Structure 1
Amino acid sequence: MSSAATEHPPILRSYASAALDRLAGWFFALPPERSAYTLRPLTIPLPDGVSLAADLYWPDGALPQPLGLVLVQGCYGRAAPFSFTVRVLAARGYAVLFVSTRGTFGSGGGLDPGRSEKADAQEVVRWMRQQSWYPGQFATAGASYLSYTQWALLHDPPEDCIASAIIAGPHDYARHHWGTGSFRMDRITWSDALVRQEDAAATRLYSAVSQAIFGASDIDNVLMGLPVAERVKEHFGDEAPWLPKAMSAPDVCDPYWAPTRHQMALDKATAPILLVSGWYDPFAAQTLEQYVRLRERGCSAALTVGPWTHVQAAGLKCMPDMIRFLDEHVARTAADGEMHRGRAARIFVTGAEEWREMSAWPPATTSHELYLHGDKSLTTERPPVDAAPSSFTYDPADPTPTIGGVQLSNGGRVDDSIYASRTDLLVFTGSLVEEEIEVLGKPAIRLAHSSDIPFVDLWIRLSEVNTAGVSHNICDAFQALDPERDPSAPVQLTLQDCAHVFRRGTRIRLIIAGGSFPLFARNLGTEGNRTVGSEMRAARHTIQHMAGSTKLVLPVAADGGDPTGAS
């Protein structure tokens, strides 16, 4: 094993690292280790004069040669906790090239998240092919941003890339920022963490002192302030220059976003792909889109969706899946009874609280319609033609709060009962479920909706009220409505995918609001880019019920559809 770009001799795995590796393997029920490993720091030169810092992990001892080579590229550094995945793979016989993306942790150039990964990844692969240790083919792996870098590479997939394990990550950066018509505010908190990540100890101390004295962190004040764009500039100064640019480009088709959109990868990728996400992962919608598109093209695509947040899905919970996948498609050591996936989708069904193997997602379903009534009930009966409407007022000065759901942090399945006591939204609750209702796929809602001003958003949540009367979230939808829409036409929205069983004695709940803050930048009720405005106007929303004009449609398991088996 040699390379002209080697800067240091190999570093043997320490006893402390070995202990941590084995503890992680035990805790997450991973296959046993196959080898020890060494780490060799490298520098990868790029044609534009920038060099990327990398570490090459190499199995050592028990194996005559590595089972395969895995490329991992990310922006969060190469130490723990982000090295855990790499170390787990190296201890199970895989060589791993772990690269820090441009502008991070020893890699040269300026950091501009999402924009250079496509070109840089191709150059990393060209360099890798020239090394004496290169085995002639490789796989990719990684979670979150380390998944985005894989899609950037697969925009023009190398022929020698034979498999990809893509965990909880997007392929379209623009849609994540502005796909709903409102700016995702977690891009601000994420950017704040990104620019301070290489001085983590000082950042933690600063944040703790600030919160203790002022009751809120600086970044919380940025999110609450108006105009948001000005508060961002004041907070970051010359740091995070990408953020003002992203906030000033609300059109996802703006040329600014072109380098960050990798839909083409879904149409070009041919090697086997493992996709993993969680029902409360903000990237779950794109993960499921990736799976459907790859399956439509006949690609070998396996899907795992757990009851996880982003952090849980991106952590070591997915490692048993990843190792089996790589053993089958890269090392080709899996015996017939140890193949990664007998069927294509492994889905956790909430409510039933069980894993199910499915041949595809979504499975066959039929429609179950529930109508919204003026008394805030939710039933299978249509309201009369003279049914009175329901209304609520959304005030951007006191925005409806985000509670749980698909946040980058602080998300997940939570008690959202507090929504029922708020007056700035509508809550519709069904009667006790008498026979189990199994929802598999995307719920949809048709709203006979109007507002007294054209600049409004809608946030929809499907929840379950359990037998103790406590409400918990299942899935959401958010959309900024077109101010030039036809007010007489119903609003049709699709919620995020879910797999949930409403058991006997529970109740179905639907929540309708005019915002979800601070997850999404609040609609100020005025024209123009909401991130640069400061004037606010409250909006009155009205929902018509007459003759069943507003309804919720649940995709329920079809009789004789995809057979499933609990595991």
Structure 2
Amino acid sequence: MSLMSHAVQHYRKLPAPTTRSIRTERDLPVPMRDGTRLLADRWAPRRGPEGLPTALVRTPYEHRGLHDRTIARPLAERGFQVISVAMRAGAGGAADPLRKEYEDGLDVIAWIIAQPWFGGSLVPAGPNHLGGAQWAVAADAPPQVKAMVPAAASMAADVLPDFSVPASLVGGWYDAFLPGQVRDFAALQAAGRHPRLTIGPWAHDDTARAAVAETLDFALPLALGRIPAERAAVRLYVMGEEAWRDFDSWPPQGYKEKRVLLGADGSLSVKHREGTVGFRYDPDDPTPTLGGHGIDRAGKADNIWLEARPDVLTFTTDVLTRDFEVVGHVNAAIRFRSTRPTANVFVRLCDVDPLGRSWNVCDGLTRVTEATEAQTVPVDLWPTAYRFATGHRIRVQVSSGDVPDRHGRGADLDAADQEVHCGGDHPSTITLPIRPAA
């Protein structure tokens, strides 16, 4: 096993390889129905049984280099043969690129099934757009497709009625694509399917790592005609507790929605503390991204310097006298007005530890139009699972920027004075799915 292969095993927390000797066939032509030929690479053990399950990786990215080392080779070393296909750039200029992606996916699968080395079972694999490529063919997948592990991708609504492939969805609490993952899981459960869901304390890249491991844990046994190791339908990493927990559904049962009020005095409580607080948003010095759910700068970070900016409002509870868990969907309703017709409302939930450090838990942004009129702005924050410990405090940030990660549609070229109204008949609130920790 090469040094790179060993490093990938360690970083991705993969089981030991079953072989270290892999052969690669390059640039196999794969015909499409419109006459286009895509190029594929095949990875397989040099020695060993014929007819291993096939993992199909369709990617719009460079299908060699990094993808070879982090997806194709790790799977080929652990029980799969792997076909890595470069998808056509821009869907070949097609007027309907999603349709072309769907057709190409089915054509690639048909080509694989017709090959003499195909052993009868196929698993679409890979995160990000690769996960989207899995969903593109899911509804019409032939019976040779035994399982799929989509990560960082969302299912189209028209897939659900005809979807029957066993699926294990993988997401990260700080991954940009998490809302789609949990929405897909809930839809599949509601439709009577039996998917499973794993969400870890990961940003985007670590979610991709976890998807490869789950392909081995969940999809490979099914491709071999076996049953994966038994576990609950939902496995969540509860941050703050720093432990994995199992649940039967998403969102988990047993958590009650609690509406908490933002107070004009900076408090966060069940009491009405009426008044208006404000800040000035300046596009020449925009409120910057710090941690969160982006692709490149995501994750957990100490927000204390961000909260010291004059364009960030904070609302904080008293010190907690017991542990509380927040698990599920978090929503805010901010009574807002701006001197500009369009504006962003950014809301972030934080955990303030006894040292005063403010750690971001989840956040969301809503673009507001007709913002010069006072209105209650709904903001959907990312789902989360977090334990707020005794001695900590819960904090909510309100601002108008998350630049450059999320800036709404269009650019705000002029400074604006923003107002947040608290208390009274139209309070600003955050709703938490919460319960005291056991």
- Tell me by how many angstroms 1:518 deviates: 0.9
SS at match of 1:419: helix
SS at match of 1:294: helix
**Contact (CA 8 Å) 1:438, 1:502: kept in 2 or not?**
yes
Evaluate the alpha carbon distance shift between residue 381 and residue 445 of structure 1 in structure 2; reply closer, same or farther with a 3 A threshold. same
Evaluate the alpha carbon distance shift between residue 117 and residue 357 of structure 1 in structure 2; reply closer, same or farther with a 3 A threshold. same
In structure 2, the partner of 1:342 is 231
In structure 1, the partner of 2:276 is 389
1:29 and 1:508 map into 2 onto residues whose CA distance is 33
**Contact (CA 8 Å) 1:57, 1:90: kept in 2 or not?**
yes
Alignment partner of 1:134 is 2:12: no
Match of 2:135 among 134, 144, 151: 151
In structure 2, the partner of 1:97 is 83
**Contact (CA 8 Å) 1:456, 1:539: kept in 2 or not?**
no
**Contact (CA 8 Å) 1:148, 1:170: kept in 2 or not?**
yes
Evaluate the alpha carbon distance shift between residue 23 and residue 511 of structure 1 in structure 2; reply closer, same or farther with a 3 A threshold. closer
1:469 and 1:502 map into 2 onto residues whose CA distance is 14
In structure 2, the partner of 1:516 is 402
SS at match of 2:256: strand
Evaluate the alpha carbon distance shift between residue 37 and residue 287 of structure 1 in structure 2; reply closer, same or farther with a 3 A threshold. same
2:10 and 2:225 map into 1 onto residues whose CA distance is 24
2:188 and 2:105 map into 1 onto residues whose CA distance is 22
SS at match of 2:342: coil
In structure 2, the partner of 1:223 is none
1:113 and 1:391 map into 2 onto residues whose CA distance is 46
TM-score calculated relative to the size of structure 2: 0.91
Alignment partner of 1:291 is 2:185: yes
Match of 1:360 among 224, 238, 249: 249
- Tell me by how many angstroms 1:109 deviates: 4.4
2:190 and 2:124 map into 1 onto residues whose CA distance is 22
**Contact (CA 8 Å) 1:443, 1:495: kept in 2 or not?**
yes
**Contact (CA 8 Å) 1:44, 1:54: kept in 2 or not?**
yes
1:279-328 per-residue CA deviation (whole Å, 9 max, x = no partner) reads 1110111111111111111222111111111011112x443332110233
**Contact (CA 8 Å) 2:387, 2:437: kept in 1 or not?**
no
In structure 1, the partner of 2:23 is 38
Structure 2 letter corresponding to 1:367: E
Match of 1:264 among 158, 164, 168: 158
**Contact (CA 8 Å) 2:54, 2:82: kept in 1 or not?**
yes
SS at match of 2:196: strand
In structure 2, the partner of 1:314 is 208
Alignment partner of 1:450 is 2:337: yes
Alignment partner of 1:280 is 2:174: yes
**Contact (CA 8 Å) 1:451, 1:542: kept in 2 or not?**
no
2:46 and 2:232 map into 1 onto residues whose CA distance is 34
- Tell me by how many angstroms 1:96 deviates: 1.4
- Tell me by how many angstroms 1:406 deviates: 0.5
**Contact (CA 8 Å) 2:282, 2:415: kept in 1 or not?**
yes
User: Which is worse superposed, 139-148 or 541-550?
Assistant: 541-550
**Contact (CA 8 Å) 1:271, 1:300: kept in 2 or not?**
no
2:351 and 2:182 map into 1 onto residues whose CA distance is 23
Evaluate the alpha carbon distance shift between residue 545 and residue 27 of structure 1 in structure 2; reply closer, same or farther with a 3 A threshold. closer
Alignment partner of 1:121 is 2:7: no
**Contact (CA 8 Å) 1:271, 1:299: kept in 2 or not?**
no
TM-score calculated relative to the size of structure 1: 0.71
In structure 1, the partner of 2:61 is 76
**Contact (CA 8 Å) 1:167, 1:275: kept in 2 or not?**
yes
1:263 and 1:539 map into 2 onto residues whose CA distance is 40
Decide which structure has greater strand share. Answer: 2
- Tell me by how many angstroms 1:26 deviates: 5.0
1:536 and 1:22 map into 2 onto residues whose CA distance is 52
Structure 2 letter corresponding to 1:390: V
SS at match of 1:424: coil
In structure 1, the partner of 2:44 is 58
In structure 1, the partner of 2:221 is 328
Evaluate the alpha carbon distance shift between residue 81 and residue 512 of structure 1 in structure 2; reply closer, same or farther with a 3 A threshold. same
**Contact (CA 8 Å) 2:147, 2:166: kept in 1 or not?**
yes
Alignment partner of 1:542 is 2:429: no
- Tell me by how many angstroms 1:98 deviates: 0.9
Structure 1's unaligned 5+ residue stretches are 1-14, 172-261, 523-528, 561-567
1:545-566 per-residue CA deviation (whole Å, 9 max, x = no partner) reads 2267222211014899xxxxxx
Evaluate the alpha carbon distance shift between residue 559 and residue 353 of structure 1 in structure 2; reply closer, same or farther with a 3 A threshold. closer
Structure 2 letter corresponding to 1:538: A
Q: How many residues align?
A: 433
SS at match of 1:82: helix
Evaluate the alpha carbon distance shift between residue 441 and residue 129 of structure 1 in structure 2; reply closer, same or farther with a 3 A threshold. same
In structure 2, the partner of 1:408 is 295
Alignment partner of 1:372 is 2:259: no
**Contact (CA 8 Å) 2:352, 2:392: kept in 1 or not?**
yes
2:390 and 2:436 map into 1 onto residues whose CA distance is 19
In structure 2, the partner of 1:305 is 199
Decide which structure has greater helix share. Answer: 1
1:270 and 1:429 map into 2 onto residues whose CA distance is 46
Match of 2:144 among 145, 160, 167: 160
Alignment partner of 1:551 is 2:429: yes
SS at match of 1:462: strand
SS at match of 2:150: strand
- Tell me by how many angstroms 1:23 deviates: 4.7
Structure 2 letter corresponding to 1:446: A
Evaluate the alpha carbon distance shift between residue 113 and residue 404 of structure 1 in structure 2; reply closer, same or farther with a 3 A threshold. farther
1:374-429 per-residue CA deviation (whole Å, 9 max, x = no partner) reads 1111112233xxx2211222222322111110010011101111222111231111
Structure 2's unaligned 5+ residue stretches are none
Identity between Structure 1 and Structure 2 (%):
27
**Contact (CA 8 Å) 1:371, 1:382: kept in 2 or not?**
yes
**Contact (CA 8 Å) 1:307, 1:350: kept in 2 or not?**
yes
* Matches for 1:217-228 after TM superposition, within 5 Å: none
